Structure 1
Amino acid sequence: MLYAALLVLVSVALTVLGVTALGYSEGQLPALALAIPALWLLPQGGMAAWLLLIGLGAYGMVLPEQPLALSISIFMMLPVFNICMSQKSSWQLGALLISIILAMDVGLMALQSEGKLPGSSLYTVVQILAVGVIWFACRSWRPVEGNTWWPLFLVVPLWVGGMEHAALVALCITGLIAAMQGMEKVKFGDWVPRLSWVLPAVGFATLVVVPHFDVPNPILVAWLLVLGGALLGEYLLEDPEEV
Structure 2
Amino acid sequence: MLFATCQFFAALLLAVVGARALGLSEGDIPLIAVLIPAIWLVQQRSFAYAVFFISVFIYGMTLAHQHVALSVSIWILFPLLMVVFSKRSNLVVVFIASLIVVTLQVGIIATQSAGNLGGSAAMTICQTVSVIMIWWSTSHWKPQPVHRWWSLALLIPMWLAQSVYGILFALTLVGIMSMLESLLRVKDFNWGSLMCWSLPTVGFSALVISPNIDVPNPVFVVWLCFLATAWVSDYILQNFEYNEET
- Normalized against structure 1, the TM-score is what? 0.94
1:184 & 1:3 partners in 2: Cα distance?
A: 13
* Unaligned 5+ runs, structure 1: none
Q: Is the 8 A contact 1:109 1:120 kept in 2?
A: yes
CA shift for structure 1 position 191: 1.2
Superposition pairs of residues 158-169 of structure 1, within 5 angstroms: 158-169=158-169
1:18 aligned residue: 18
Q: Secondary structure at the match of 1:131?
A: helix
1:188 & 1:150 partners in 2: Cα distance?
A: 33
CA shift for structure 1 position 96: 1.6
Alignment of 1:93 with 2:90, yes or no, is: no
1:107-141 superposed Cα distances (whole Å, 9 cap, x missing partner): 01011111121110111000001101110121011
1:17-59 superposed Cα distances (whole Å, 9 cap, x missing partner): 0011111121112221111111112434754443332122111
Task: Provide closer, same or farther for how the CA distance between residues 58 and 15 of structure 1 changes in structure 2, counting only shifts above 3 A.
Answer: same
Q: How many residues align?
A: 243
1:38 aligned residue: 38
Q: Secondary structure at the match of 1:239?
A: helix
1:151 aligned residue: 151
Superposition pairs of residues 21-170 of structure 1, within 5 angstroms: 21-44=21-44, 46-170=46-170
1:236 aligned residue: 236
1:31 & 1:129 partners in 2: Cα distance?
A: 18
CA shift for structure 1 position 160: 2.4
1:165 & 1:191 partners in 2: Cα distance?
A: 28
1:65 & 1:182 partners in 2: Cα distance?
A: 34
Q: Secondary structure at the match of 2:89?
A: coil
Question: What is the root-mean-square deviation of aligned Cα atoms in Å?
Answer: 1.8
1:61-103 superposed Cα distances (whole Å, 9 cap, x missing partner): 0111111111111111111111111110111112121211111
1:13 & 1:111 partners in 2: Cα distance?
A: 32
1:93 & 1:119 partners in 2: Cα distance?
A: 30
Task: Provide closer, same or farther for how the CA distance between residues 143 and 45 of structure 1 changes in structure 2, counting only shifts above 3 A.
Answer: farther
Counterpart AA for 1:155: L
CA shift for structure 1 position 212: 0.3
1:197 aligned residue: 197
Q: Is the 8 A contact 2:23 2:69 kept in 1?
A: no
Question: Identity across aligned pairs (percent)?
Answer: 36
2:143 & 2:214 partners in 1: Cα distance?
A: 37
CA shift for structure 1 position 189: 6.9
1:214 aligned residue: 214
1:227 aligned residue: 227
Counterpart AA for 2:25: S
CA shift for structure 1 position 185: 2.4
Task: Provide closer, same or farther for how the CA distance between residues 189 and 46 of structure 1 changes in structure 2, counting only shifts above 3 A.
Answer: farther
1:197-226 superposed Cα distances (whole Å, 9 cap, x missing partner): 111111110111010000111111111111
- Normalized against structure 2, the TM-score is what? 0.93
